[in-house]
Structure 1
Amino acid sequence: MQKPQTQAKLPFQPLLLIAPFFFWGTAMVAMKGVIPHTTPFFMAGVRLVPAGVLVLLAGLLSGRPQPKGWQAWLWISIFGFVDATLFQGFLAQGLVRTSAGLGSVMIDSQPLAVAILSLWLFQETIGFWGWLGLAIGLIGISLIGLPDDWILGLFNSELLTTSADFTQLFNSGEWLMLLAALSMAVGTVLVRWVCRYADPVMGTGWHMIIGGLPLFGLSALLETQQWQNIDLSGWVAMGYSTIFGSAISYGLFFYFASSGSLTSLSSLTFLTPVFALFFGNLFLQEVLSSLQSMGVGLTLVSIYLVNQRDTLAEKLKIKRSKDLAPSQPETNVLQPAEGNSVELPIEIKEIETS
């Protein structure tokens, strides 16, 4: 059995804790910048397979065991198809039709789907704050994904229901990003079965390779001019997405997760779309509509509520306990400002009676 790792204090640890989410958010911007010069499936494969090789090399150098047995490889293959092939495929295709910042918000709505799947599969309750977050997230995603005309039409009693409107809706990048988020959520649930039969880091590396190879196959069958139009800056962007946005991000994530910082990582999930929105506006001049901006804000609030539901519930419980605590009975002992009791000497004389 592998010995549990002890948590070592790393230099600049707070920055390293935020780094995976910074890399994931900025990788969306880098991928969006290079997508006009390449093809979606090819870019998704490039992001997965080389990163998987790097993760495996890091796992081998750290002495992690290789997967053994057909059950391990079966679950890794299923994990790779859902979390790598489907997730990265939908993500790359969605980037063609939406902005990097908006796409990142849609992707990072996956904790909402994870909460529902966990409730259904593992009977994990999410409590009041969790349900409130899910409701707010549903409203936020609707504001982001639905056309503005549809939403404004609700207030004017004018619904657009033509076939062309529905075709535009389901061909939009936002819905592809939602499918990517759902794939990632299912993959997150599948990790529980993968970890029963394989080391999580080695399983992650192999699932990236196994899931990335079909994307190269789809690219060879359906796409042309995959790399001919990529210039030096494009290769740098793809390299950044592969090395920092995949390999290093996964490495840092699993390091902190294995050393007891999983709660901190979960609470930082909402930072990913914040970074993507900021750098998307800075480098790509991406601008959201007023309704989409409102939806982004609601989605970030919902993700925070779902991730921090236990902490918020505990704080509310403590506050209620203090409010319902019985008040202390009044005493005749004087309490000075310092909080120490004061004894007053009283002389009692006996009165003689005749």
Structure 2
Amino acid sequence: MLSNRIALIAVTALAPAIWGTTYLVTTEFLPPDRPLFAALVRALPAGLLLVALTRRLPRGQWWWRSLVLGTLNIGVFLALLFVAAYRLPGGVAATVGAIQPLIVAVLASGLLGERLTPRTAIAGIAGVAGVSLLVLRAGAKLDVLGVAAALGGAVVMATGVVLSKRWTSPAPLLATTGWQLVAGGLVLLPVALLVEGPPPSGLTAGNILGYAYLAIPGAAVAYALWFRGIRGLSATSVTFLSLLSPLVATTVGWLVLGQHLTTAQLLGAVIVLAALVAAQIPLKKKENHADHSVRSGGRRREPSGDRSAIARP
């Protein structure tokens, strides 16, 4: 059982690790100043591909559930991320976003019965401190709207993670992932057209390769792994893995772009890894009492819903 859990954690961790390469791909391969179009291309084609491959459509309440989850996990989250990225230095946006595990822990305690332990709280605070050391630079300027967007993105994504754990479906993982990507892409479509106008013309082979990377590994594969982790692990454990994104982004910048690493950044990386590992240690039986309270007769209570739905990660 322990080896299975470790394997699932490792596989799920690939998703934020892949997302950590987004900055490199965006700056080196994509046209400048088109982040919403990049987000749209990342989500909608990947979702349509997964729906076509699985040939599954939602049923009953999974139509609106897919819309809600896709909007939270992908559509609104990426839009807010775009606002934060444009109005804040990258380090500030990443540091504010690092509060997401704490938000998930609080929401999960109320909606999923997960115990909010001192260890989780300390790991969450340490995660924010570690990311700030890793990416925050002296003299970084704050912008109220940018900070609000970054915080809103963390809240939106945290809510999406918890609801993804709460709402279950017997449908295949790839089908549900496709539904959410399509829903998120459709939410982004009018926003991208309104803010950035029509798609860029004269795309190069490098541009197309970059967009393909964001759509296939960066969305179809990464989100499937992420939602698989949410299905098999606690919401809190999964969301702490998101701290890998700024860590991987910093590492890739050092290895590929030749960026300099400071002692403070190395310390931040150690703190992030320590917080991440601490959050993955299973709770003792006494600590896990709240989780058992949602079980009845040895079986976990499933939320009421349309069990005939086709899909969910």
TM-score between both structures, scaled by the size of structure 2:
0.70
Matched, 1:117 2:107: yes
Shift in Å, 1:50: 0.7
- Is the contact made by 2:164 and 2:230 (CA closer than 8 Å) also made in structure 1? no
The 1:188–1:252 alpha-carbon spacing in structure 2 relative to 1, beyond 3 Å, is closer
Give the structure with higher Rg (CA). Answer: 1
In structure 1, how many angstroms separate the alpha carbons of the residues matched to 2:21 and 2:191?
26
Match of 2:73 among 83, 97, 109: 83
Match of 1:33 among 28, 48, 51: 28
Pairwise mapping of residues 319-330 of structure 1 onto structure 2 (< 5 A)?
none
Q: Which runs of 5+ in 1 are unaligned?
A: 1-8, 151-164, 315-354
Alpha-carbon deviations, 1:83-116, whole Å to 9, x = none? 1111111233444456778866765653332112
In structure 2, how many angstroms separate the alpha carbons of the residues matched to 1:66 and 1:197?
13
Match of 1:242 among 204, 210, 215: 215
The 1:208–1:33 alpha-carbon spacing in structure 2 relative to 1, beyond 3 Å, is same
Match in the other structure for 2:298: none
**Secondary structure in 2 matching 1:126:** coil
- Is the contact made by 1:20 and 1:253 (CA closer than 8 Å) also made in structure 2? yes
Amino acid paired to 1:79: L
The 1:282–1:226 alpha-carbon spacing in structure 2 relative to 1, beyond 3 Å, is farther
Matched, 1:137 2:127: yes
Shift in Å, 1:44: 0.8
Alpha-carbon deviations, 1:289-311, whole Å to 9, x = none? 77676555544433332333627
Match in the other structure for 1:280: 253
Pairwise mapping of residues 187-198 of structure 1 onto structure 2 (< 5 A)?
187-196=160-169
Match in the other structure for 1:170: 144
Matched, 1:183 2:156: yes
- Is the contact made by 2:39 and 2:78 (CA closer than 8 Å) also made in structure 1? yes
Match in the other structure for 1:251: 224
| Percent identity over paired residues | 26
- Is the contact made by 1:76 and 1:206 (CA closer than 8 Å) also made in structure 2? yes
Match in the other structure for 2:204: 231
- Is the contact made by 1:81 and 1:211 (CA closer than 8 Å) also made in structure 2? yes
Match in the other structure for 2:177: 204
The 1:301–1:175 alpha-carbon spacing in structure 2 relative to 1, beyond 3 Å, is farther
Pairwise mapping of residues 264-279 of structure 1 onto structure 2 (< 5 A)?
266=238, 269-279=242-252
Q: How many pairs are equivalent?
A: 280
Amino acid paired to 2:102: L
Match in the other structure for 1:301: 274
Match of 2:15 among 4, 20, 25: 20
Alpha-carbon deviations, 1:103-144, whole Å to 9, x = none? 667656533321121123334213231122123234446667
- Is the contact made by 2:254 and 2:261 (CA closer than 8 Å) also made in structure 1? no
Matched, 1:53 2:48: yes
- Is the contact made by 2:36 and 2:79 (CA closer than 8 Å) also made in structure 1? yes
- Is the contact made by 1:47 and 1:238 (CA closer than 8 Å) also made in structure 2? yes
Shift in Å, 1:148: 3.5
RMSD, aligned α-carbons: 4.1
Alpha-carbon deviations, 1:31-88, whole Å to 9, x = none? 243465241211111100011112223433xxxx53211x211111111221111111
In structure 1, how many angstroms separate the alpha carbons of the residues matched to 2:112 and 2:162?
10
Matched, 1:66 2:57: yes
- Is the contact made by 1:46 and 1:238 (CA closer than 8 Å) also made in structure 2? yes
In structure 2, how many angstroms separate the alpha carbons of the residues matched to 1:282 and 1:275?
10
Match of 2:117 among 124, 127, 138: 127
Alpha-carbon deviations, 1:183-205, whole Å to 9, x = none? 21111112135425865542321
- Is the contact made by 1:112 and 1:306 (CA closer than 8 Å) also made in structure 2? no
The 1:35–1:309 alpha-carbon spacing in structure 2 relative to 1, beyond 3 Å, is farther
- Is the contact made by 2:67 and 2:184 (CA closer than 8 Å) also made in structure 1? yes
Match in the other structure for 2:308: none
TM-score between both structures, scaled by the size of structure 1:
0.63
Amino acid paired to 2:156: S
Amino acid paired to 2:17: F
Q: Which runs of 5+ in 2 are unaligned?
A: 288-313
**Secondary structure in 1 matching 2:58:** coil
